[in-house]
Structure 1
Amino acid sequence: MRNFIGLAAAACMLAACGGQPSIQSTPGLTVITGQAALPVPNRDDLVAEDRIALVGPLDTILVNVFGVGELSREMQVDAGGRIAMPLIGTIDAGGKTAAELALDIERQLAGRYVRNPDVTVNIVSSVSQVVTVDGQVVEPGLYPVTNQMTLLRAIASARGLTEFADADDVVILRTVNGQRVAGLYNISAIRRGLYDDPSLYANDLVVVGDSPQRRLFRDFVGLAPLLASPVIALLQR
């Protein structure tokens, strides 16, 4: 009986922790309440800042040499970051922007094969510019990075948090100048606008932590009927 009451009290405490105060305005957040409408974003608000997109292994690119259809084609970068072009052979493409790669192709074509070549390169699909989402999300995996990718968007791409996710313990791991750095984030606080949703970049690793409290509560809910049975039997005597 005492064990049942103690577990019930613990479950109530865990449930109480889930309550949150109403959202409030801060220096970085304006809360609009009542019948007031949210303001309409302007053009700058709708355009994300451009990021450098680099060609990487196994990416698919489209090379167009203006006026020379025989040299224009879609191709896949090999695992070593190289492409093979007619006339000029193998070219290192990995780690270059599309514009840089186009300039390299122009230089190698100029003079020997094509007079004043005009080359454009577009990245059709990228498997190298991805972020890894792991831990307590519904669908862990690799997700493409765009110039609008943020932590919340990455978690949404992974179909959200699982039942046992610890929203207060989310880590972003990143390499900067060869040095590994980590940031610890509170998803609940971001959702409530208490601080900005951090941007993600290619090769970032997002790890969502596990909540032992949530597992304990689930186990209690599963055991509660079994624990209550002896109490009911005693009351019926």
Structure 2
Amino acid sequence: MPEPTRLDQQSSNRPYLIGPFDELKIDVFGVEDLSKEMQIDASGRLSFPLVGVVEASGLTPGELADELERRLRGRYIRDPQVTVNLEETVSQVITVDGQVSKPGLYPVIGRMTLMRAVATAGGTSEFAKLNDVVIFRNVNGDQLAGLYNLKAIRRGAYSDPEVFANDIIVVGDSQARRLFRDLIQASPLITTPLIILFRA
């Protein structure tokens, strides 16, 4: 699959939306203890004192400031004035989804490969279909998809492909593995020998 161009990896001219791993500087005017630098977690949430957990991903810094003001107003501070500034953005992220232990957005640090991306997401789950891993990528405005086999990569049959910012990796689901698990769980109820032809 071809590499994305520099233009493919740039975001469009829209208001910046907060995302996982972004570093924010939050100031609450007149309340020094609540003014701090914080990082959005991997799931896009921010845990802020007195307020609790806020779903920050997808909000602009101004919208997050408004939400913090709303939650602080009345109960803790009479008229809170909150500013949120972006200190550091992790715009270089990939999405790892499907049958992995921890689906989500992950930063691309250095040279990232498919195997490293899956490992970063906690590895494959019990029901992963290792020969059904798809990388979706935008190149010159076209949506491309490449099908990969993690078993073959592990055996060295072909090289571990590099992944780039904005790639989406989806690890397939093995219905056969699910069926096998269900049959094994039901096996105490089966009184005759059971022979299963299993292909992952």
TM-score interval, normalised by the smaller of the two chains: 0.5 to 0.7
Partner of 1:139: 102
Q: Which residues in structure 2 correspond to 1:209-224 (within 5 Å)?
A: 209-224=172-187
TM-score by length of 1: 0.46
Partner secondary structure for residue 197 of structure 1: coil
**Cα distance, 1:79–1:178 mapped onto 2, change above 3 Å:** farther
| Higher relative contact order (Cα pairs below 8 Å, separated by 6+ residues) | 2
Q: Deviations for 1:164-189, whole angstroms, at most 9, x for unmatched residues?
A: 00000000000001100000000000
Whether 2:92 is the aligned partner of 1:129: answer yes
Report the number of matched residues: 123
Whether 2:122 is the aligned partner of 1:159: answer yes
Q: Which residues in structure 2 correspond to 1:168-179 (within 5 Å)?
A: 168-179=131-142
Q: Deviations for 1:49-76, whole angstroms, at most 9, x for unmatched residues?
A: xx97968945559xxxxxxxxxxxx9xx
| CA–CA distance in structure 2, aligned partners of residues 55 and 212 of structure 1 | 37
Q: Which residues in structure 2 correspond to 1:57-72 (within 5 Å)?
A: 57=16, 58=18
**Cα distance, 1:144–1:196 mapped onto 2, change above 3 Å:** same
| CA–CA distance in structure 2, aligned partners of residues 147 and 153 of structure 1 | 11
Which residue type is aligned with residue 222 of structure 1? Q
Bigger strand fraction = 2
**Cα distance, 1:147–1:139 mapped onto 2, change above 3 Å:** same
Partner secondary structure for residue 115 of structure 2: helix
Q: Which residues in structure 2 correspond to 1:43-58 (within 5 Å)?
A: 57=16, 58=18
- Stretches of structure 1 lacking an aligned partner (at least 5 in a row): 1-50, 62-73, 81-123, 233-237
Which residue type is aligned with residue 141 of structure 1? G
| CA–CA distance in structure 2, aligned partners of residues 180 and 211 of structure 1 | 25
Partner secondary structure for residue 190 of structure 2: helix
**Matched-pair contact (CA < 8 Å) for 1:126–1:144:** no
| CA–CA distance in structure 1, aligned partners of residues 165 and 151 of structure 2 | 24
Larger Rg: 1
Partner of 2:54: none
Which residue type is aligned with residue 132 of structure 2? D
Partner secondary structure for residue 152 of structure 1: helix
Q: Which residues in structure 2 correspond to 1:173-212 (within 5 Å)?
A: 173-212=136-175
Supply the RMSD in Å over aligned alpha carbons: 3.1
Q: Identity across aligned pairs (percent)?
A: 54
Bigger helix fraction = 1
TM-score by length of 2: 0.54
